[in-house]
Structure 1
């Protein structure tokens, strides 16, 4: 009985004896054959997750087609009907493992967090973020850990002040007046976008503005141009040779990104000129303080990992991600409130009981459980980033009983976890009370509620966004009531613009003042 290795050698000798030609030719062919057979016999075998058959080159890109069912909905249907919660799909030539239940998401991102904490390389993001020097898209490692730690430290320091509350009061009052001045029904998207940008700009930069900074409306237009150019995947991310001669769309996106980064850089430079550790005016000051304190404690190594360029990119992270996620959440919230007047009325009664004649404050949050529950239900039903940002495996690992090789792209279907009928009663219904206990107070956070993702790469802005949006909604509803435009049917439909963003289709509302 021959062993596998002996069998291979016997087979190779037999082939070599039959090969025509000179001895060097035989040696070359035999060597190639031996190498190939050795690779086949010794390569590591993986038990990969199942998935639909993939076409050559294009893979399963048809799943991402904009039709009657969004990509993340299709994934959950495939999970339930055929493959189970861990599914392999091919996005073009890239193999991608998708996680479609809270159990496998928790296993991967919490219990095996370091294994799944990487970010895949993407040329466009690398170029736009100065080599991924931000927090959101940087790969997992010591530098990323330090930057995330310092960013969270700055956010905690900032949240002790009253700057956010003052910014919300000022901006919401102006926005509400403009909305009430509309002669009829209108699309609120422009208002929610500018409202969130003004608030975030104030949170980050306060009133300190370089004299040559453009008006905020102009900066917002630049950001919207970039968002539009980036809706579809860049060819440069798919075909490396194209990077040597970039497409017009890529060049346009880089140009508007440079303008947006320049706005941030000028604000930071102005802050450095007037910075005082005894007078932290806004979140940028908090980040600069974190940089200075870390440099004093750890010296040169910290400065290399949290340089001035890293500071710019970290602030870009907070501003850009905060605008897109918060304005989209607020846009969804106004649609849900306009379509559910009873929910709106209950929120307003709670707000009035907690605040009397004054505007709501952050300190009122414990007395606004139904308002907070409503926000949580908006985020559950229509998460802004339904598949989160993509992950990348740092090593060979496993999830759900399957092997996941190193450097595998992983998409986390947060939408599926938050629409699982085994975890949520009537998951397609808008029911804020599902987050309240028998006494009408917020119940403990449910494991499958994860609009900010979970684990090591969860959103660093969660501690700011949740109280900020509760306060914004409370201030708006203190001032006005919203309803659907006359004759408009209430419908919850996603405008599927990319794998990672979930805005509603355009809709119109009417607003009326509240006589308090």
Structure 2
């Protein structure tokens, strides 16, 4: 009798795993029990990109994979992405929420990256409005970035002839831009910056690991077991939020609520918080939301922009003819003065260089999964409301029909026959649809000003170790391998 029960249970279990739970969804790779398709996904270097490409070739542009015990419909190809996430954007405006992550790391559903509905709408609108007020596209923000450009230039001049870890320079500079926007101050203490950066590095490394990802996506795993399996999450949480809360505390002690002007994001938030509390709303702009919004700005703005600059420099050093072509344009248009945002329209090759870097770097190979806000039809299948839907932008950035020879670094692909910059709607490094990166405007400004000024002022040459490897290291964000370079001034003072 026991043998029969065990046999029956086994048959029913595998029937559910390999057929019943997959019924009605677009076809895809067969998932393993419990871990789904994560083993195959994480077996490729970097995790995700090659696996998605293989699955697309086998199952078509739309298919289903399993992230632990959670199904996810993957959409690839620009036409398909546009039809879903742009033309029917409201149906995919939710994000896939990992409740176990929000509980263990965020303390609940707070912030803008990992929330949906009115919470997401309110805080995204507020963040965009504040970014605009503090200079996204204005001289104040440009001046903040130019200050960091000046500091990098001074440091590079001091180290001319030596091997330089340029990534460290980019990290500090971009962190200062973010911290000024959030808290109104720069990092004067390199040790303090290195401390918070180490926690952020650990966060991305942890979140990009299969162990942690499965802990969040296996639906029946209890919260206490998640905490047991991911002790490193608690360590990064304490380090990151400890830093943020200290800065917030100092602001709260100094803020002048009677002043109409605010010097940074945190002050603006606190004043909105007080206004709402006076009207009886103590939830929408809570302290938990404030610290999580600060974290979202740090996490989204730091690693993406800084790593893009790292990739850009590595590509330039591996393609010296391309670097010289950009510098020729910079010499002709800028000369030995400082480049500003007003110069952007007159530097098509420099812009093409940045575009090609963003395309080939492909910083977030798996992207941030969305979720259907209603029942939708994909690949002829009715996909229920709440189902995870992944917009696989790598499939576009590396599509040989859109970008011929996609593995090659060719800025010219973004120029027309007259040398003018072409508009390329298929270039979607900031994602696509309703949840496109809210810091896109700031990131574009940073990338242009850092690139135009630093490459106009310096040549970036190989170190004693040779040119950088273009192999990737991977956490939640794809990074160039650690490298050093030599710099040489292009203009003598």
Question: Would you say same fold, with TM above 0.5?
Answer: yes
Does the C-alpha gap of structure 1 residues 224 and 63 become closer, same or farther in structure 2, counting only changes over 3 Å? same
Correspondence list, 1:239-318, <5 A: 241=221, 243-244=223-224, 247=227, 250-272=230-252, 273-275=254-256, 278-288=260-270, 295=276, 299-301=279-281, 304-318=283-297
Q: 2:193 aligns with which of 212, 216, 224?
A: 216
Does the C-alpha gap of structure 1 residues 214 and 305 become closer, same or farther in structure 2, counting only changes over 3 Å? farther
CA contact (8 A) 1:229 1:249 kept: no
What's 1:100 paired with?
A: 76
SS in 1 for 2:200: helix
CA contact (8 A) 2:372 2:387 kept: yes
SS in 1 for 2:89: coil
What's 1:132 paired with?
A: 109
SS in 2 for 1:148: helix
Question: How many equivalent pairs are there?
Answer: 465
Does the C-alpha gap of structure 1 residues 55 and 307 become closer, same or farther in structure 2, counting only changes over 3 Å? closer
Question: After superposition, what is the alpha-carbon deviation per residue over 1:390-427, rounded to whole angstroms, capped at 9, x for unaligned?
Answer: 11223321224333223322222111111212222332
What's 1:31 paired with?
A: none
Shift of 1:384: 1.1
What's 2:409 paired with?
A: 430
State yes or no: 1:384 paired with 2:384: no
What's 1:479 paired with?
A: 457
What's 1:365 paired with?
A: 344
Mean Cα displacement is larger for which, 504-513 or 44-53?
A: 44-53
Partners of 2:22 and 2:478 lie apart in 1 by 37
Partners of 1:326 and 1:316 lie apart in 2 by 16
Partners of 1:249 and 1:133 lie apart in 2 by 23
What's 2:170 paired with?
A: 192
Shift of 1:281: 2.8
Identify unmatched segments of 5+ residues in structure 2.
1-19
TM-score, normalised on structure 1? 0.81
What's 2:479 paired with?
A: 503
Max Rg structure: 1
Q: 1:119 aligns with which of 86, 95, 99?
A: 95
Identify unmatched segments of 5+ residues in structure 1.
1-42
SS in 2 for 1:375: helix
CA contact (8 A) 2:208 2:474 kept: no
TM-score, normalised on structure 2? 0.84
Shift of 1:145: 0.9
State yes or no: 1:354 paired with 2:314: no
State yes or no: 1:91 paired with 2:67: yes
Shift of 1:366: 2.4
RMSD over aligned Cα atoms? 3.1
Does the C-alpha gap of structure 1 residues 238 and 146 become closer, same or farther in structure 2, counting only changes over 3 Å? closer
CA contact (8 A) 1:73 1:416 kept: no
CA contact (8 A) 1:329 1:384 kept: yes
CA contact (8 A) 2:36 2:69 kept: yes
Shift of 1:133: 0.9
CA contact (8 A) 2:104 2:227 kept: no
Partners of 2:104 and 2:45 lie apart in 1 by 34
Mean Cα displacement is larger for which, 219-228 or 182-191?
A: 182-191
Partners of 2:351 and 2:267 lie apart in 1 by 29
